[in-house]
Amino acid sequence: MAAVGLVAGLTIAPPLWAQANGAAPPLKVIRYAFRVAESGFDPAQITDLYSRTVAASIYDAPYEYEFMAKPARIRPSTAAAMPEVSADFKTFTIRIKPGIYFADDPAFKGAKRELTAEDYVYSVKRHYDPRWKSGGLYVFENAKILGLSELRKKLLAEKKPFDYDTPVEGLRTLDRYTFQVRLAEPGPRFASTFADGSFTGAVAREVVEFYGDKINEHPVGTGPFRLAAWKRSSRMVLAKNPTYREVFYDETPPAGSSDNARRLQAVAQQYKGKRLPLIDEVHIAIIEENQPRWLSFLNEEADILEELPADFATVAIPNNRLAPHLTKKGIQMVRYPRADVAVSYFGMENPVVGGYEPQKVALRRAISLAVDVDREIRLVRRGQAIPAQGPIAPETTSYDPKFKSTMGDFDRGRAKALLDLHGYVDKDGDGWREQPDGKPLLLEYATQPDQQSRQLIEQWKKNMDAIGIQIEFKTAKWPENLKASRGGKLMMWGVGWSGGPDSDTFLSLGYGPNKGQANHARFDLPAFNKLYEQQRGMPDSPERNAVMVEAARLMVAYMPYKVHVHRIFTDLTQPWVLGYHRNIFVRDFWKYVDVDVEALKRRRGAAL
């Protein structure tokens, strides 16, 4: 067997051509790397993108986004059909297909465990259980499921454990395979909540009770893969779930005559009717630094490079076209805009940068005006982003590429004038501005120890030096910063936020009741909250878009977040990876990707 490759001290699985032993066909394995470590795999606890990506392939939600559809479209997954929805958008009835089974696990004591409607009821209730500290609870509380928030508050007040067996008006099973959700207010888009296995995937009660507080380490679902091996913050192996039901490739690509449209049409035709997943295993390494992640791909130790590091964009995709030396090797490129925002938030409860008084708003707006986003895009992101004008992301319902606001302005002169006007001046002659009351003005910005984070904070230092504001940087690993951020302990932090096709996901960053969940800035403005609640109950329409834009303007005006950019990602795949495509709303894309074993054999011969 060929030697196993090493990247940054981490053992990476050998390519398929190195696995063949002559006795059996090699496993089809996809290998690639996350740039941020996972936190765990329990849908009720995880909040980060990387853990959700893994969990989405282990757990099944009732619905899923079609892999190739554009615009985004939902279809049944474990559900027998689309939900029955009442005319007032308050009642949703969902029927689950019989004959779906959880992956085998000791928690089931040797029995085959069928998925039932009660599993989804139980899994939703887990988000309300304070024991699990759900970071996604706000989604359900915003939807106002009848009785559940009241039950949670009652048990908290009585200091009792959450009671899963108490009947709740808004969430109940009608029979073994049917459950119903009732809302206090209209939820025209509520069904999409059940289209993310990493959030509303079914978790069996026996598994939770068996593993207890260790449930985050023992994911057991009905999805196409199971967690076969895991070394925390280092390596994960997902293996095909042998109990996964019969699901067949059946995708409808968008019409068109572009090269990409024709490619997707050919892929859809080639794989139509083939059983999913197409591969046997997924091997995921954690490689935080860009250079070793890039080199692992060049050295064929990774099959997919998800999100080409910006540091290497000019080498790999000059002028956003695949470089000739990569084309010659047969490497393929998939380029796509993300429905995301890259932000720096201000802790609105922090005594230095928080608050709603005019001088505090002026401070945040001045800091925003001093951030040279064009330079950040050019030098740090290597052109792989566009400047943001507000919190609403591209590829979502209310995004308007023509929208312009002061969020996208860079003007140090205006920044200095705002600071001077509101008393942020150098009072002691040391060259740095103080607060209006004479106290030191010192910003503390949380960051991570990777190369891009270092480059980003270098830009922050230059930008703040230019307007006379001192800034210090507190470095910690991503999971540590995430924990501190959810607890409201950080003054400032730079993060990315991605979401579904509805722009509500991005406005949720500013909704007061979402503090410590989506709302890491802990922004709580009654006028914004009112607009957010208003749009939530409106059907899709120009009128709803207008309300959302008005809400976005308030976020720009009060500046709890400096929204820097919307990122553009480029994924690269090795020649033997087939059917690769990215739908930004499909987390569990691995099941649709294939590996060409014959191409690997040819590559083996070339390597020898």
Look at residue 257 and tell me whether its pLDDT is greater than 90: no
- Which pLDDT does position 20 carry in this prediction? 45
Query: Which residue in this structure is represented by tokens 């805009």?
Result: 337
- Which pLDDT does position 58 carry in this prediction? 98
Going by C-alpha positions, the residue among 360, 380, 385 that lies closest to residue 570 is 385
Phi-psi region of 551 (alpha: psi -120 to 50; beta: other; left: phi over 0): alpha
Q: Outline where DSSP puts E strands in 108-151.
A: none
Look at residue 584 and tell me whether its pLDDT is greater than 70: yes
DSSP helix/strand/coil, 4: coil
- Which pLDDT does position 242 carry in this prediction? 96
Mean pLDDT over 262-269 rounds to: 95
Mean pLDDT over 228-257 rounds to: 95
Mean pLDDT over 169-192 rounds to: 97
Q: Outline where DSSP puts E strands in 232-308.
A: 235-240, 281-286, 304-305
Q: How confident is the model at residue 256 (pLDDT cuts 50, 70, 90)?
A: confident
- Which pLDDT does position 605 carry in this prediction? 62
Alpha-carbon distance values, 554 to 82, 389, 547, 551 (Å): 36, 12, 11, 5
pLDDT higher for 71 or 19?
71
Look at residue 19 and tell me whether its pLDDT is greater than 80: no
Q: Count how many residues are written for the chain.
A: 608
CB 112 within 8 A of CB 242: no
Q: What is the pLDDT of residues 413-465, one digit of tens each?
A: 999 999 999 999 999 999 999 999 999 999 999 999 988 999 999 999 999 99
- Please report the sign of the dihedral spanned by the C-alpha atoms of residue 288, residue 294, residue 300, residue 303: positive
Q: What's the chain's average pLDDT?
A: 93
- Which pLDDT does position 4 carry in this prediction? 28
pLDDT higher for 273 or 12?
273
Q: What CA–CA distance (Å, rounded) separates 597 from 592?
A: 16
- Which pLDDT does position 498 carry in this prediction? 87
CB 84 within 8 A of CB 218: no
Look at residue 18 and tell me whether its pLDDT is greater than 50: no
Q: Give the amino acid at 91.
A: T
Mean pLDDT over 226-232 rounds to: 96
Mean pLDDT over 538-553 rounds to: 96
Question: What would the 3-class secondary structure string for 13-34 be?
Answer: CCCHHHCCCCCCCCCCEEEEEE
Other CB atoms within 10 A of residue 261 CB? 14
Q: What CA–CA distance (Å, rounded) separates 294 from 312?
A: 8
Task: Quote the pTM value.
Answer: 0.84
What would the DSSP string read from start to end of 446-490? EE-SSHHHHHHHHHHHHHHHTTT-EEEEEE--HHHHHHHHHTT--
Mean pLDDT over 546-565 rounds to: 98
Q: What is the pLDDT of residues 362-408, one digit of tens each?
A: 999 999 999 999 999 999 999 999 999 999 999 999 999 999 999 99
Look at residue 233 and tell me whether its pLDDT is greater than 80: yes
- Which pLDDT does position 604 carry in this prediction? 61
- Which pLDDT does position 598 carry in this prediction? 85
Q: How confident is the model at residue 23 (pLDDT cuts 50, 70, 90)?
A: low
Q: What is the pLDDT of residues 299-343, one digit of tens each?
A: 999 999 999 998 899 999 999 999 999 999 999 999 999 899 999
- Please report the sign of the dihedral spanned by the C-alpha atoms of residue 236, residue 237, residue 243, residue 245: positive
Q: What is the pLDDT of residues 480-507, one digit of tens each?
A: 999 999 999 999 999 999 888 999 999 9
Tell me which H or E stretch contains 346. strand 340-346
- Which pLDDT does position 11 carry in this prediction? 37
Alpha-carbon distance values, 50 to 38, 39, 198, 223, 378 (Å): 6, 8, 10, 17, 26
Going by C-alpha positions, the residue among 318, 319, 322 that lies closest to residue 305 is 322
- Which pLDDT does position 600 carry in this prediction? 78
What would the DSSP string read from start to end of 159-174? T----TTS-BTTEEEE
- Which pLDDT does position 251 carry in this prediction? 97
pLDDT higher for 260 or 464?
464
Q: Would you give the end-to-end CA distance of the chain in angstroms?
A: 12
Q: What CA–CA distance (Å, rounded) separates 261 from 265?
A: 6
Tell me which H or E stretch contains 494. strand 492-498
Please report the domains of the chain, with CATH numbers, ordered by start residue.
1-38+48-58+223-336+574-608 (3.40.190.10), 60-216 (3.90.76.10), 340-567 (3.10.105.10)
Mean pLDDT over 188-209 rounds to: 97
- Which pLDDT does position 608 carry in this prediction? 37
